[in-house]
Structure 1
């Protein structure tokens, strides 16, 4: 699927839809101070939040206990000076290897809800604690599994591909165009995988950042093709936020449950 991302007020082709107005849902994101750098060694600061407007903290801070950084050689990189306030978290990363770094936050878990003594009860945790606490035995319990990832990529020197190895669980990005080699007015192609296979029919939302300063948000809705691919052309140099979501039916101990998986990536388009 191909489209051009419009400037404010322009029209889209029939292949996409623009959602007018402001976002109605809270969105998770990580935004590095710089996406591409040069030199032998550099520092970046990364902001993380869940907000109503992209890259404007105004709701709650992102939890940092699930954040990992992977260096170009595949080894873990320690985050430094981590802190969390009410509406924003931040941490620093020292880049001392040439190539691309992967910054990721997320995890998997189970959610349950049921009625008890006239009240709606809610629970979240692992499969082990689900069984240990007897959650499955609650009357009319509804159980779902969630797998989520929020990522961004930063490159020191020339872009590299080592950090794009996939795990085969949930939604994952397998870039065709490198996330740190994107330019306004040039076509971009991303492939999405679901549990290791091309993710066909996955809903994608793409939004240019700093939507607080626009009368029209300009969110673009896409759908992956049979190969899990989406292709688009950003018209404007800016940071962008892309979200992929998929829901299917799974099972737990032979019982059907809903499985919801999501993937978010932040990247920038540079001036052409």
Structure 2
């Protein structure tokens, strides 16, 4: 339990840019075809992209949206010391959205000179945090870590907005990315275009080069940004934000994070 709470704190409360560790979900392949092919996924929080050298990404809040918009389940899930794994049988034609979505609260207060800390959700907050807690500070958080895979012809039903936190809506389909070409995306916060979000994109295999070679971009007034892929490979994208738009009265601050993994294919 302590490990799960600590990981939730790292992923959904602290901005990713403030941490050395990066969370990600990595598919074995992103574009497949056939009668119900299977894709395997690794999920971890690591120092290097995409290597298992820190802790696993927990799958408690794994959500998989099928091409028709329905929710489907993973199979063969397992969590080891450094990574989680699962399989997904692509029974439908089209694009799947695979993500871990964390939403919750963290609180700190003083209790007779002793610092107390708590993490949980709105349902348990009133039961577990004293109503008269001294110096109470409550932070709400919403974090997403996701990726996309397509069986056959791509579609966009699974990519529709949910309306909470930071979400990415592709203009260029996420499974149609090619080295040497540009791709456009839009970022939204609570279903509305997010202007001025800073976006960082890093190609994988950072273990084998001295520089991160990151792309630093910013969304325009429509929440849109454009990335140009210089090389083929797996890429990691992240952005964070914070505001005061909480839906829990005691929480005065909300922290948002978004992470995605993309595959860029050679020309």
Q: TM-score, normalised by structure 2?
A: 0.89
Partner of 2:64: 69
Pair 1:56-2:34 in alignment:
no
Question: CA offsets per residue over residues 122-180 of structure 1, 9 Å max, x none?
Answer: 11111221122234531112110000111100001111111111111100011100000
Question: What 5-or-longer segments of structure 2 have no aligned partner?
Answer: 1-17
d(CA) in 1 for partners of 2:248 and 2:89?
A: 44
Taking only aligned residues, the RMSD between alpha carbons, in angstroms, comes to 1.6
Alpha carbons of structure 1 residues 70 and 250: separation in structure 2 relative to 1, 3 Å: closer
Partner of 1:6: none
Question: What 5-or-longer segments of structure 1 have no aligned partner?
Answer: 1-22
Pair 1:262-2:257 in alignment:
yes
Pair 1:84-2:55 in alignment:
no
d(CA) in 1 for partners of 2:71 and 2:113?
A: 47
Indicate the structure with greater helix content: 2
Question: 3-state DSSP class of the match of 1:191?
Answer: strand
Q: 1:124 aligns with which of 102, 114, 119?
A: 119
d(CA) in 1 for partners of 2:131 and 2:181?
A: 51
Question: 3-state DSSP class of the match of 1:141?
Answer: strand
d(CA) in 1 for partners of 2:258 and 2:130?
A: 28
Pair 1:94-2:89 in alignment:
yes
Alpha carbons of structure 1 residues 262 and 44: separation in structure 2 relative to 1, 3 Å: same
Count of residues in Structure 1 that have an aligned counterpart in Structure 2: 250
Q: Where does structure 1 differ by over 6 angstroms across 4 or more consecutive aligned residues?
A: none
Question: 3-state DSSP class of the match of 1:81?
Answer: strand
Pair 1:202-2:197 in alignment:
yes
Pair 1:222-2:229 in alignment:
no
d(CA) in 1 for partners of 2:70 and 2:144?
A: 19
Partner of 1:177: 172
